[in-house]
Structure 1
Amino acid sequence: MKTPEEAELCFPQLLNSSCSKAMRPHSVSTLIYIVLSSISLLTVTLNLLIIISISHFKQLHTPTNLLLLSLAVSDLFVGLIMFFQILLIDGCWLLGDLMCILYNVLDFISTSASVGTMVLISVDRYVAICEPLHYPNKVTQKRVQVCVCLCWICSAFFNSLLLKDNLTQPGRYNFCFGECVIVINYIAGLADLFLTFIGPVAVIIVLYMRVFMVAVSQARAMRSHVETFSLKSSVTVTAKKSEMKAARNLGVVIVVFLLCSCPYFSVALTGQDTLLNASSAAFVTVLFYFNSCLNPVIYAFFYPWFRKAIKLIVTLKILQPGSCQTNIL
């Protein structure tokens, strides 16, 4: 029978070198497990539906939707990462040092790629609203594909450099067995904070402020001239309304992203993470990851094509020949 001291260890057989388990009531651990499992499963499922929808239906193969596809892929990885968070509920990492560093690398890359994609979405809406006549020539499928690939490649390269010491010697900063710790030096941490949060957020806010101002001025112009428009002008007005609606919808995605990520990065920016208790730190982290679950919910609420695509996927109608040509819009 295990002694009380042994029962509190991650590896009871390693009395002198094992980490201790986090001591919390069983009911609390069960609640955390249920919440994290539900969020993780929902995140993976919903983002997988987005990936299948945009990839399968040819009508959805647009530059803007390609950016949503990239965002869904990064959110899918975040949902998978949350499964590893579940393993750390009791404070013990049981998968070894190699899996520890791979888990953290995937976490860093997914986060960076998600933020980078948000910037690309902001640029896409900026060009669509502020330079509508040049949008078809500037924002092409090919260019967006290149930008998305560069976003992921740069994210992987930067974070590999950031975690180089941890990658070359996994577990070098662990003090006991059952621990999963990575260490980033001060300068690299500041560079990560500015490149992954402060810089991108500043770009997003500036671009969307400009989009908002132009959208408001266009709406006023359309209202004042609506009775004098010809049929051709009416088509143009409809197109502009469609672009502004897309800007509004994607604006909601970005606002939700900022609300969920700001607490997480603000803690890192102010260096107050050591002052947070375990519950506060867990809430900030879960809120950050929860954003990846909210994005598909926003799409389902604002985009009729996503709701229609879900019905076709769930009913397995996408398996029928020629289903990729279905009128989904």
Structure 2
Amino acid sequence: MKRLSFALLITFVLLLPGIPTVQASEFNFSVTTVIPENQIDPNKTYYDLLMEPGAEQTVEILLRNDTDADVIIAPAVHAASTNTNGVVEYGESHDEPDPSLLYPLEDLVTTDEEIIVPANGTYTLPLHISMPDEAFDGVLAGGITLQETMEENQNESAEEGLSIDNQYAYVVGIVLQQNQSEIEPELALHDVYADQLNARNVIMSTIQNSQAMYVNQLSVQAKVKNESGEVLYESKTESMQMAPNSNFSYPLSLNGHPLEAGEYMMELTASAMGEEWHWSEPFSIEEDQAAALNETDVTIPAPDYTWLYVAIGIACLVIAFFLILYYQRKKHKKLLIDAINKQRASAS
């Protein structure tokens, strides 16, 4: 039997606003940012750069390898996004960028596609930044992920069975701005729909941050009402954060209850940074959609058809009994008629 191997990617989000530097012995390399003169706060170790419209600049990251083997790294730049837990992510996102994001960071920052940090040596990784020509307020945010590539057979083992191979990555934050003007937060509700999260039924509400700023300490309270105004489901989540020019789908769990087709109303209240927003959004659930989601929800027990099988079995026995009774009576009647006919024939 071949050994099964699962890769678990563990990302250390380093050098970002509010995130302290983490020393992780699991890495085969270390990361040090070379802070340039136009850093807004030189005490911060992520890049927080003030640049003019159309300006170009190259900053550097120093990678150090203290092992006796070469380390291969595949750098990747991504814009910041917000996940369903209300947490900002700086790695690759499989969701479409928010329409309000005019300048994705991956279009502005270029670097090497693959590098080799030599054994017991260093490598200076350049990041070339091209600021948009158009002036804008707020920030462009994202990060560069530095993950060691794994050789195809690196984790092969002579032992059989199941194993988990941990993979680790650094993320270095990159925040770009042309001025330090303050802007006001602006949130919008764009869609409400039934869906699943981790194979569990939820009602999703897509909340958008259309401004080029972080929305911090975000709280969301959600209520789902039926047509008569009765509250069916509700939830409240606090201390979330949204990336600049991003959206996320806030999930309201049904806690194991099956979806039912019908017309509903989502009432949402969001608050952050001294502002508050209220929305009431109608939505509907179709019968086929509810059936399909209920069938794959792991918290909903599968239908118990035992009673149906028992009823069918009893019905089959009853039908068999009456069929046997019918044929026995028919056979008895035939024998009686034959006997009468025989008696009549002998009498004549």
Query: Same fold by TM-score, threshold 0.5 exceeded?
Result: no
TM-score, normalised to structure 1, is 0.19
Relative to its length, the structure with more strand (as a share) is 2
The answer to which structure, 1 or 2, has the higher relative contact order (CA under 8 A, 6+ apart) is 1
TM-score, normalised to structure 2, is 0.18
Determine which structure has more spread, i.e. the larger CA radius of gyration.
2
Relative to its length, the structure with more helix (as a share) is 1
